[in-house]
Every structure is written in structure tokens, then in C-alpha cells.
């Protein structure tokens, strides 16, 4: 039942509009940022993870909503997790996916999408979702057509 609930649970933090983007913070190392955020989530530090994500995308007002979404894992024991996908598109776009198994919840994927500017990497999207019985959630990995 929890897995079905989470299959519909997705949190997007998107940079929409130049004003929001102007407040975003560049990420020096996308891999390190994704690892640190993933670790916070697996340690049930949802408040810290939500604030880290929302401040990085320049939308600190979304932190409470994101924290509520992450709290779907509250009381669930983290069992296993690892980075399973890291694709760089010409040094301009990058997508990193971490996979985790939470007892009584199931298999959850966390996707971090970054885009490069002259000022550095910016996190433009964060999403988490379960995959059901598929290897990855449908349309979860994006790339050139």
C-alpha cells in the first residue's frame, strides 16, 4: 500500500522564471551535492535535506512543502542505497540518480538534474519516485531523443 502511495508522490523543484533563477546558488560539485542530500534523506534528516534543496534552487519558501513530502519516509528503516546513474551531456547537462530501499516502503529513486551556466552548475530539478516492478520509473531518465 505504501509503495502505491509513493508511486504517485513526486516532488519537483523547478526553476521557473529569471527571478527564481537569479536567487539560485551554483553547485560546485553536482556529485557531492547529490551524495550529501541523499545521505541526509537516508538518515531521516528531512528538514535539513529540504532546506538544502530549496535554498540551492533559490526557492526557500518551498522547504516546508518538500519536507512534508520527504516525511513519507519517516519511521521507515533505510536498508540500502547507491548512486545508480550519472550521465553528463557534453559538460552542459547532468543527471544523477540514487536508488534506495526503505523497509515497509520499497524501492525509491532520487533524481537530481543540473544545468551549466557561465556561473557554474545549477540544480534545476529534484524528483523522487518508486519504480514499481520496472528497473527505473517510467520516463525517469531523460536525455537526447
Task: Say if residue 11's pLDDT is above 80.
Answer: no
Inside any domain, residue 138: no
Stated as kind and residue range, the H or E segment containing 57 is none
Q: Residue 140: its pLDDT value, please?
A: 81
Q: Any idea what DSSP says for residue 144?
A: -
Q: Are 138 and 144 in contact (CB under 8 A)?
A: no
83 grid coordinates: 548512486
pTM: 0.84
Inside any domain, residue 144: no
Inside any domain, residue 31: yes
Instruction: For residue 97, give the 3-state DSSP assignment.
Output: strand
Inside any domain, residue 136: no
Name the domain count of the chain.
Answer: 1
Inside any domain, residue 137: no
By 3-state DSSP, what share of the chain in percent is helix, strand and coil, each rounded to 5?
35, 30, 35
Inside any domain, residue 145: no
CATH code of the domain containing 51: 3.10.450.50
4-8, 41-45, 96-100, range with the lowest pLDDT: 4-8
Inside any domain, residue 17: no
In the block, residue with C-alpha cell 538518515: 43
Inside any domain, residue 19: no
Q: Tell me the pLDDT tens digit for each residue of 24-74.
A: 999 999 999 999 999 999 999 999 999 999 999 999 999 999 999 999 999
DSSP annotation string for 22-54: HH---BS-HHHHHHHHHHHHHTT-HHHHHHHHH
In the block, residue with C-alpha cell 550529501: 36
The residue range of the domain holding 125 is: 2-11+25-130
Amino acid at each position: 500500500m505504501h509503495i502505491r502511495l509513493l508511486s504517485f508522490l513526486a516532488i519537483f523543484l523547478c526553476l521557473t522564471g529569471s527571478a527564481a533563477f537569479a536567487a539560485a546558488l551554483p553547485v560546485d560539485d553536482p556529485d557531492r551535492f547529490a551524495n550529501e542530500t541523499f545521505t541526509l534523506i537516508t538518515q531521516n534528516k528531512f528538514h535539513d535535506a529540504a532546506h538544502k534543496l530549496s535554498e540551492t534552487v533559490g526557492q526557500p519558501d518551498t522547504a516546508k512543502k518538500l519536507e512534508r513530502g520527504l516525511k513519507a519516509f519517516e519511521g521507515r528503516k533505510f536498508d540500502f542505497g547507491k548512486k545508480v546513474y550519472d550521465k553528463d551531456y557534453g559538460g552542459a547537462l547532468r543527471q544523477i540518480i540514487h536508488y534506495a530501499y526503505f523497509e515497509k516502503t520499497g524501492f525509491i529513486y532520487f533524481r537530481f538534474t543540473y544545468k551549466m551556466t557561465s556561473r557554474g552548475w545549477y540544480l534545476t530539478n529534484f524528483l523522487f519516485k518508486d519504480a514499481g516492478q520496472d528497473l527505473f520509473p517510467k520516463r525517469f531518465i531523460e536525455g537526447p531523443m
